Amino acid sequence: MVIIDGPVTPVQQRNLERRWKVKIVDRTGLILEIFGERAQTKEGALQVELAHLSYQRTRLVRSWTHLERQRGSLSFIGGPGESQLEIDRRLIDDRITKIKRQLESVVRTRELHRSKRKKVPYPIVALVGYTNAGKSTLFNRLTKSDVFAKDLLFATLDPTMRKIDLPGGQTVILSDTVGFISDLPTELVAAFRATLEEVLEADLIVHVRDITHTDTEAQKKDVLDVLSRLGVDIDDDGHYLEVSNKIDLLEDEDKQVLLNSLDRQEDAIGLSAVTGEGEDAFVALVEQMLTARQAILSIELPATDGETLSWIYRHGTVLDRTDTEEAVNLEIKLSDENRGRLEKKLNRAL
């Protein structure tokens, strides 16, 4: 087998295979093979198969003799019939249509879940980044989960979401997403759009970088390019946070230089998803960015109204609390949406 790090046209592939008498795999084909091994859920497998079929359809050139055989016409007049090439292409098209229908059902289910989350609106924090940057390791540490996390390309293909509680008491949903790669094939961006829609819906995008990688700057550019192709505006103030991961692998002097430079930035921080160094500062910064645009409200509740108090802790950030025998006085931050819900609960304007 010969693997070529770049796109190879169907004709080029045919000619090279004839000349070298070996199988040729180009960059897209290799990425698809890896994706095929990593897909864990039915949705992931369908998305990979759709991308694979779209890619394979372009490979149906007349490179093999069986593709030139004719199938007899059923017409009484007779005729050229249907070539094996046409049969293969039709079968692929039929399968693509079927998969797209199944994926539409998945998208509808995901939209249903999304609309349910909006009724109990927790902010969504999406982890994005280059493949193998440590997103799933960070996800597992923050959520106390055991999502598949290995030193592998594309270890995560299926989106995973978990609830976590921030220090101020507010609940947020953390989303782990598929890793990006340079020159990501168009077929894959299209196939995984349903998965990556969680990124479009996110209140905060956390870009996890492997700061120890020799090509970390190029990887950052590739991730930003994919986000741009998805329609994500990272210049939207307070919507994007950059995390320099794997600082535990840096020499002490290099680590200190990095952390000093990050201290001067409002939307960047360093941490180690393995050791937990910088985790508390990261969570605090996430909370600060999510609540930056929220209004600060002062509210008094009867000491007996535990239900409303519990609701406030789940959906807002409690900045200050004073308890007396009759009442609980709170200073809180709430989104406009949750402020409206609380006003409805209390039956009064805030």
CATH number for 203 = 3.40.50.300
Residue 260 and residue 133 share a domain:
yes
Per residue in 191-214, pLDDT tens? Answer: 566 566 667 778 899 999 999 999
> What's the pLDDT tens digit per position in 88-122?
888 888 998 998 888 888 777 767 766 665 655 67
Would you state the pLDDT for residue 165?
A: 87
Q: Are residues 197 and 329 in the same domain?
A: no
Q: Give 321-327 contacts, CB < 8 A, sequence gap 24+.
A: 326/302, 327/300, 327/301, 327/302, 327/303
Q: How many domains does the chain have?
A: 3
For residue 336 the two structure tokens come to: 């406009």
**Residue 66: domain span:** 2-100
Query: Mind giving me the DSSP string for 35-50?
Result: HHHH--SHHHHHHHHH
When pLDDT is averaged across residues 290-302 and rounded to a whole number, the result is 86
CA distance 132 to 136: 9
How many Å apart are CA 273 and CA 257, to the nearest integer? 19
Give the domain-ending residue among 65, 100, 135: 100
Q: Is 168 within a domain? A: yes
* Rg (alpha carbons) of the chain, rounded to whole number: 26
User: What pLDDT is stored for residue 67 in this prediction?
Assistant: 44
Q: What is the pTM of this model?
A: 0.72
Residue 109, domain member (yes or no): no
Q: How many CB atoms lie within 10 A of CB 321?
A: 14
Within a domain: residue 110?
no
DSSP bridge partners of 41? none
- 78-92, 308-322, 323-337: segment of lowest average pLDDT: 78-92
Distance of CA 23 to the CA centre of its chain: 33
The one-letter amino acid code at 42 reads K
Residue 209 contacts residue 267 (beta carbons within 8 Å): no
Are residues 135 and 284 both part of a single domain? yes
C-alpha closest to that of 169 among 299, 276, 329, 283: 283
